[in-house]
Structure 1
Amino acid sequence: MSDFNKQAGSLTEKAGISPPEITNVSAINQIKNKRRQQPSAEELISGILLGNRTALSRAITLVESTNPEHTEKAEEIIKGCLPHANKSIRIGITGVPGVGKSTFIEAFGTYLTQAGKKVAVLAVDPSSTISHGSILGDKTRMEELVKDENAFIRPSASGENLGGVARKTRETIILCEAAGFDTIIIETVGVGQSETAVHSMVDFFLLLKISGAGDELQGIKRGIMEMADAIVINKADGDNIKKANQAKLEFNRALHLFPPKKSNWQPKVTTCSAITKDGISDIWNTISDYFEMTKESGFFQEKRNEQNHFWMMETINEQLKSNFYNQPGIIAQMEQIKKAVQNDEISPFAAAQFLLNEYKKGF
């Protein structure tokens, strides 16, 4: 019996060490208060102009925010940064998923920083339709570039925007330029719809391809190829070198069938390997030739002016749409009208006109 009691006693749970009580409450409160404090627009502008990445990141967060309280502050920041912007070159990079965009951008961005450039990468991630969070996590896949002192990577979830273009990418470019970044790279999701929007905010549009995908002779890619200023066959290494060179020939033949560009630039086709870094310098030489030619002809500034007008109209359209759906009168009647349309009690066109008339009454 005594042996049993000894065994039972050895199995009983002993009192552990209780966690220490929080003794420095004031220090905890100071940390919490500091986190609650938001820097003013003037402080963020000053930080951005000094190249402070924390200030830049916080300002971009305000610009991307859909909180109405942040809109006025974000507009003030953009206004303060605008005189210091427009001093960079903007490069759009697209390609289907799996073409190696992130690996290429890391190799290309590293090459530029080593050449003395300051590079900002705006990677537009597709968003989950369930949680609305980013899926690809581009920043985590550019392990070397993210540690580079002359590089800044900002992934942004695309949300519900057409084709995955982040809603405030255009304004983010202005902030990055004001922070001293002279080369802005915008990576699209590569799903076939966002390319038009990105093309309207960059100076040079680069299309990444891989050999053996069957695109060389297909006409379905005509639209995206017409926008491209250069086509790069990626993954030209190992056994793929021969296939990549063959793809280069096919794309060169296809490009000669397209009408001349307004810039009079003849798009170039080249091969590269983001893994071995072969061909990266040739791509930068091509881009440099493009900028030299378009700046001399005046097309560079002409295109920038057209883009500014385009984004003014886009902003007006976006604001009108937002005002329409947030007007109390529209909100109150939307569900009822929607049900009437679904039940064929009223045509979609008549319903739309009715809501528009109701919207006009608010003015």
Structure 2
Amino acid sequence: MSSSKKQVSSLQEKAGISPPEITSISAINQIQKNRKKQPSAEELIDGILNANRTSLSRGITLVESTNPEHAEKANEVIKGCLPYANKSIRIGITGVPGVGKSTFIETFGTFLTGLGKNVAVLAVDPSSSLSHGSILGDKTRMEELVKNENAFIRPSASGDTLGGVARKTRETIILCEAAGFDTILIETVGVGQSETAVHSMVDFFLLLKISGAGDELQGIKRGIMEMADAIVINKADGDNIKKATQAKLEFNRALHLFPPKKSTWQPKVTTCSAITHEGISEIWETISSYFEMTTNTGYFHEKRKDQNHFWMMETINEQLRLNFYNQPEIISQLEQNKKAVQNDELSPFAAAQNLLALYFGKDTK
């Protein structure tokens, strides 16, 4: 190759494509400005009350936010929606992983929309204790229900909240009710000792089981069964029908050993198949009977009042906890006390007392 020839580096950058002349710079700027624009609380409330799905989703995102700057606006949205809430029946659905909760909810939700119901599904996905991430794949698992115009599916990450319930699930229910959803289905992460968090925000608690699961959950079975208003043996199809029927008899016998419920309702045990849709209508009949009975006795509304009180106290406790850990003095001293405890230089109780004294001392100044 002749040295007189100019060599071109393979790393040379080529000229980019310039915007066509028809592109409006002002239009681009306007689009970018609108993307960043956040609707006001009044706009969100108006959209939610008019059943606008985008406004509802943005409102839920706002109340789920952990950013302290969003709290005031979120409270304003909740306050504006509250007079239009409390006109639904709230159903909690729980069960061990693999019991078929998502498939059941899709089948059950589709059945309810067929009756003219407006169904909101609040699905709580487990968060990783390591990465703190969540898959949020419920819309993928409920691919038919998600296309139903009378249904709304909102997956949320459980985070570090009690019983795998998203931190603001209670407020999300209010927004969904204000948007016109008359049936709220709350799918939990799974069965756990803290499942009482779900029980404390729903009217009807449904426990999904499968036959032949054995007694590996014996340690938590009693507590969950005492809370359940109905036990449904899922996957009662094919060769599993006989096993499901036997499981129904066993659970029926077990339920009679528990003390009577305050509502005087006797929990029912049924079988169903979310695949073949067998037994789905009977489950709704059970829930409707419960609703009618507890409404007539006044228990339904008394339970709602007790739940409101419970969540007021929970909110106070949560806010105190967040306020404590967000104090600069606590943040700076926490790590120091933590190391002292780990190195056995200070007892956990003494370290806690030091931090609490620092916190309350600051507040009393």
Q: TM-score, normalised by structure 1?
A: 0.92
3-state SS, counterpart of residue 208 of structure 2? strand
Superposition deviation, residue 67 in structure 1: 1.1
Matched-pair identity in %: 82
In 2, the alpha carbon distance for the partners of 1:88 and 1:124 equals 20
Instruction: Note the 1:82-97 alignment, pairs <5 A.
Output: 82-97=82-97
Instruction: Find out whether 1:260 has 2:274 as its counterpart.
Output: no
Structure 1: give runs of 5+ residues left out of the alignment. 1-15
| Residues 192, 220 of structure 2: 8 Å contact kept | no
Q: Deviations over 1:263-285 (max 9, x none)?
A: 00000000000011110000000
3-state SS, counterpart of residue 362 of structure 1? helix
Structure 1 51/341 Cα, relative in aligned 2: closer, same or farther at 3 Å? Answer: same
What's 2:286 paired with?
286
In 1, the alpha carbon distance for the partners of 2:97 and 2:307 equals 27
**Counterpart amino acid of 1:21?**
P
What's 2:79 paired with?
79
- Aligned residue pairs: how many? 348
Q: Which moved more, 1:20-29 or 1:253-262?
A: 20-29
What's 2:150 paired with?
150
Instruction: Note the 1:271-310 alignment, pairs <5 A.
Output: 271-310=271-310
Q: Deviations over 1:228-281 (max 9, x none)?
A: 000000000111111100100010011011110010000000000001111000
| Residues 118, 183 of structure 1: 8 Å contact kept | yes
Structure 1 257/191 Cα, relative in aligned 2: closer, same or farther at 3 Å? Answer: closer
Structure 1 318/206 Cα, relative in aligned 2: closer, same or farther at 3 Å? Answer: same
Q: Which moved more, 1:216-225 or 1:270-279?
A: 216-225
Instruction: Note the 1:153-168 alignment, pairs <5 A.
Output: 153-168=153-168
What's 1:64 paired with?
64
Instruction: Note the 1:10-159 alignment, pairs <5 A.
Output: 19=17, 21=19, 23=21, 24=23, 25-135=25-135, 137-159=137-159
In 2, the alpha carbon distance for the partners of 1:262 and 1:172 equals 27
| Residues 124, 166 of structure 2: 8 Å contact kept | yes
In 1, the alpha carbon distance for the partners of 2:214 and 2:317 equals 38
| Residues 217, 250 of structure 1: 8 Å contact kept | no
Q: Deviations over 1:134-159 (max 9, x none)?
A: 23511111011101111000000111
In 2, the alpha carbon distance for the partners of 1:334 and 1:17 equals 54
Superposition deviation, residue 217 in structure 1: 10
Superposition deviation, residue 305 in structure 1: 0.7
**Counterpart amino acid of 1:153?**
I
**Counterpart amino acid of 1:196?**
T
3-state SS, counterpart of residue 362 of structure 2? coil
Q: Which moved more, 1:345-354 or 1:94-103?
A: 345-354
Superposition deviation, residue 191 in structure 1: 4.1
**Counterpart amino acid of 2:264?**
N
Superposition deviation, residue 339 in structure 1: 1.5
| Residues 120, 181 of structure 1: 8 Å contact kept | yes
In 2, the alpha carbon distance for the partners of 1:216 and 1:357 equals 44
Superposition deviation, residue 162 in structure 1: 2.8
| Residues 84, 178 of structure 1: 8 Å contact kept | yes
In 2, the alpha carbon distance for the partners of 1:351 and 1:17 equals 63
Q: Which moved more, 1:334-343 or 1:268-277?
A: 334-343
Instruction: Find out whether 1:182 has 2:198 as its counterpart.
Output: no
What's 1:200 paired with?
200
Structure 1 144/295 Cα, relative in aligned 2: closer, same or farther at 3 Å? Answer: same
Superposition deviation, residue 344 in structure 1: 1.7
In 2, the alpha carbon distance for the partners of 1:215 and 1:294 equals 32
In 1, the alpha carbon distance for the partners of 2:200 and 2:360 equals 31
Structure 1 220/173 Cα, relative in aligned 2: closer, same or farther at 3 Å? Answer: closer
Q: TM-score, normalised by structure 2?
A: 0.92
What's 2:316 paired with?
316
**Counterpart amino acid of 1:134?**
S
In 2, the alpha carbon distance for the partners of 1:217 and 1:257 equals 18
Structure 1 329/85 Cα, relative in aligned 2: closer, same or farther at 3 Å? Answer: same
3-state SS, counterpart of residue 146 of structure 2? helix
Question: Which runs of at least 4 in structure 1 moved beyond 2 Å after TM superposition?
Answer: 16-23, 25-28, 128-133, 215-220
| Residues 136, 155 of structure 2: 8 Å contact kept | no
Superposition deviation, residue 213 in structure 1: 0.5
What's 2:327 paired with?
327
In 2, the alpha carbon distance for the partners of 1:130 and 1:357 equals 31
Superposition deviation, residue 163 in structure 1: 3.1
Q: Which moved more, 1:92-101 or 1:130-139?
A: 130-139
In 2, the alpha carbon distance for the partners of 1:209 and 1:186 equals 17
In 1, the alpha carbon distance for the partners of 2:347 and 2:15 equals 72
In 2, the alpha carbon distance for the partners of 1:226 and 1:195 equals 12
| Residues 216, 251 of structure 1: 8 Å contact kept | no
**Counterpart amino acid of 2:108?**
F
